[in-house]
Amino acid sequence: MNQNIADLRKSYEQDELDEAQSEPDPLAQFEHWLAQALKAELPEPNAMTLATVGDEGRPSTRVVLIKGLDARGIVWYTNYESRKGTELAAHPFAALQFHWVELERVVRIEGRVEQTSAEESDAYFHSRPLDSRLGAWASPQSRVIPSRTVLVTGAAKAAARFLGQPPRPPHWGGFRLVPDRWEFWQGRRSRLHDRLRYTQQPEGGWLRERLAP
C-alpha cells in the first residue's frame, strides 16, 4: 500500500446547516435532503446502513434500501429469518444511517422497529421484478450454503413450482423504523461540522439541538 491512509484529508466546504434554515420537523428536513440527493443523481441515494444488536450485545451492520417513508416511519424489506430479521425480532430497536458523500452529508436515525402489515408487504413484493421474487424463495439468507448452485437451483425450482407467479414467502416482508431521534450532519471547514439532533418529546413534538462535532 503506497499511500498512508492516516494522511488522507478532505476539506468539507459545500454547504452549511443552520438552525434558522432547517425544518422544525425532522421528517421534513430529511425529505428535503433526500430530494436534493435524488436531484444530484448520486449513486444509490436510497442506500442506508442498518445497525441491529444480537443477544450477546454484539452489533452488526448491513446496507439495505429504503422503500417507504411517511409520518409512520422508514420502511425496508427483507427475509425475516435473516440475521437482521432474527435480531430485530428479539431486540426491536435499530439505527439507520444515510451517507451522501458527494453532498458531504450524513443522516442518522434511531427508533423502535415493527413489521409492516401483510398487505403492505404483499403490495411491495408483487411490484418487484420476477427474478427478485424468485430470489426471495431461493435464498436461505444469512445461512451457510455449499455453493452458488444452491441459489440458482432454488430459483429454478421456485419458477417451476409457481409457474412464474410466486406469492410472497411467509418469511419475507417489511420492517418499519419509527424514529424517536434524528441527527443531521453537514461537513464544514476545519472539522467544525454542523450537527443538529432532533429528539422526540413526550407530547409528540421535537426538540432540536446543536451538537459539537
Query: Which active-site residues does the annotation give?
Result: 191
Helix (H, G, I), strand (E, B) or coil at 117: coil
- Alpha-carbon separation of residue 42 from 34, 38, 86, 114 (angstroms): 10, 6, 32, 29
At 75, list the grid cell: 420502511
Q: How far apart are CA 135 and CA 141, in angstroms?
A: 10
Distance of CA 1 to the CA centre of its chain: 32
Alpha helices in 41-99 (DSSP H): 83-90
Main-chain dihedrals φ then ψ at residue 131, nearest 5 degrees: -60, -40
Mode of pairing for the β-strands spanning 105-115 and 93-100: antiparallel
Amino acid at 142: S
Q: How far apart are CA 71 and CA 76, in angstroms?
A: 15
Q: Which residue in 200, 188, 23, 20 sits closest to 109, CA to CA?
A: 200
